[in-house]
Chain A
Amino acid sequence: MTVTKSILLAEDNPRDAELALAAMEEHHLADKVVLCHDGAEVLDYLYCRGRFKTRLHGNPSVVFLDLKMPKVDGLEVLRVIKADDQLKPIPVVMLTSSREERDLVQSYALGVNAYVVKPVEFHEFLNAVKESSMFWGLINEPPPEGLGPAADRWRSR
Chain B
Amino acid sequence: MPVPTESSPEGFSVKTVSEERAPLPSAVPPLPTNEPDSSAHGPGPLGVWSHGSRWPIEHRVLAGFGLVFFGILVISAVSYRNTTVLIENSRLDAKSHELIQLLDGVGVALDDAERGHRRYLVTGEEIYLASHRTIAERAPEYIRYMKELATGVPNQQALVDELERLITQQVVAESSATTARKTKGYGAVRQMALEGAAKKQIEAIHGIITRMAAEENQALRRRVGESTSSTRSTIVLLGIGALLLFVLLATVYYLIHHDITERRRVAAELQRRGELLEAANKELEAFSYSVSHDLRAPLRHIDGYAALLEKNASASLNEKARRYLSTISESAKQMGQLIDDLLVFSRMGRQEMLRTVVNLDQLVKNVLHDLRHDLQGRSISWTIGSLPQVQGDPAMLRQVLANLIRNAVKFTSTRSLAKIEIGCDQSNPSEAVLFVRDNGVGFDMQYAAKLFGVFQRLHRADEFEGTGIGLANVRRIIHRHGGRTWAEGALDQGATFFFTLPIQTVSP
Chain A contact residues, CB within 8 Å of chain B: 13, 15-16, 19, 22, 67-68, 96-101, 118-123, 125-126
Contact check: which of A16, A99, A121 meets B301 at CB < 8 Å? A16
Q: Are B293 and A98 in contact (CB under 8 A)?
A: yes
Q: Are B300 and A19 in contact (CB under 8 A)?
A: yes
B300 to A, closest residue via Cβ: A120
Q: Are B307 and A122 in contact (CB under 8 A)?
A: yes
Q: Which of B310-354 contact A (CB under 8 A)?
A: 329, 332-333, 335-337, 339-340, 343, 347
Contact check: which of A22, A100, A120, A122 meets B289 at CB < 8 Å? A100
Q: Are A122 and B293 in contact (CB under 8 A)?
A: no
A68 to B329 Cα, complex, angstroms: 25
B299 within 8 A of A: yes
A22 to B98 Cα, complex, angstroms: 134
Within the complex, what minimum Cβ distance (angstroms) separates A65 from chain B?
14
Contact check: which of A15, A19, A118, A120 meets B333 at CB < 8 Å? A120
A100 to B335 Cα, complex, angstroms: 18
Q: Are B304 and A97 in contact (CB under 8 A)?
A: no
B288 to A, closest residue via Cβ: A100
Within the complex, what minimum Cβ distance (angstroms) separates A121 from chain B?
5
The interface residues of chain A lying within 8 Å CB-to-CB of B301 are: 15-16, 19
The interface residues of chain B lying within 8 Å CB-to-CB of A19 are: 300-301, 304-305, 308
Q: Given the known A-B contacts A120-B332, A121-B336, are A15 and B304 also in contact in the complex, defined by CB atoms under 8 Å?
A: yes
Contact check: which of A22, A101, A120, A126 meets B299 at CB < 8 Å? A120
Contact check: which of B297, B308, B343 meets A22 at CB < 8 Å? B308
B306 within 8 A of A: yes
Chain B contact residues, CB within 8 Å of chain A: 289, 292-294, 296-297, 299-301, 303-308, 329, 332-333, 335-337, 339-340, 343, 347
The interface residues of chain A lying within 8 Å CB-to-CB of B305 are: 15, 19
Report the 3 A-B pairs with minimum CB-CB distance, sorted nearest first.
A120-B336, A122-B307, A122-B304
B336 to A, closest residue via Cβ: A120
The interface residues of chain A lying within 8 Å CB-to-CB of B293 are: 67-68, 96-98, 100
Q: Are B307 and A123 in contact (CB under 8 A)?
A: yes
The interface residues of chain B lying within 8 Å CB-to-CB of A119 are: 300, 336
The interface residues of chain B lying within 8 Å CB-to-CB of A100 are: 289, 292-293
A119 to B306 Cα, complex, angstroms: 15
A121 to B300 Cα, complex, angstroms: 6
Q: Are A98 and B292 in contact (CB under 8 A)?
A: yes
Q: Are B303 and A121 in contact (CB under 8 A)?
A: yes
Within the complex, what minimum Cβ distance (angstroms) separates A133 from chain B?
16
Within the complex, what minimum Cβ distance (angstroms) separates A23 from chain B?
9
A122 to B304 Cα, complex, angstroms: 5
Could you jot down 13 A-B contacts, CB within 8 Å? A16-B301, A19-B300, A19-B301, A97-B292, A98-B292, A100-B289, A118-B296, A120-B296, A120-B303, A120-B336, A121-B329, A122-B304, A123-B307
The interface residues of chain A lying within 8 Å CB-to-CB of B339 are: 120
Contact check: which of B294, B300, B340 meets A125 at CB < 8 Å? B300
Within the complex, what minimum Cβ distance (angstroms) separates A19 from chain B?
4
Q: Given the known A-B contacts A13-B297, A118-B296, A120-B296, are A98 and B289 also in contact in the complex, defined by CB atoms under 8 Å?
A: yes
Contact check: which of A99, A122, A126 meets B292 at CB < 8 Å? A99
The interface residues of chain B lying within 8 Å CB-to-CB of A125 are: 300, 303-304
A122 to B343 Cα, complex, angstroms: 20
The interface residues of chain A lying within 8 Å CB-to-CB of B303 are: 120-122, 125
Within the complex, what minimum Cβ distance (angstroms) separates B39 from chain A?
42
A118 to B347 Cα, complex, angstroms: 19
Within the complex, what minimum Cβ distance (angstroms) separates B347 from chain A?
8
A98 to B340 Cα, complex, angstroms: 11
The interface residues of chain A lying within 8 Å CB-to-CB of B333 are: 120-121
The interface residues of chain A lying within 8 Å CB-to-CB of B292 are: 97-100
Within the complex, what minimum Cβ distance (angstroms) separates A131 from chain B?
16
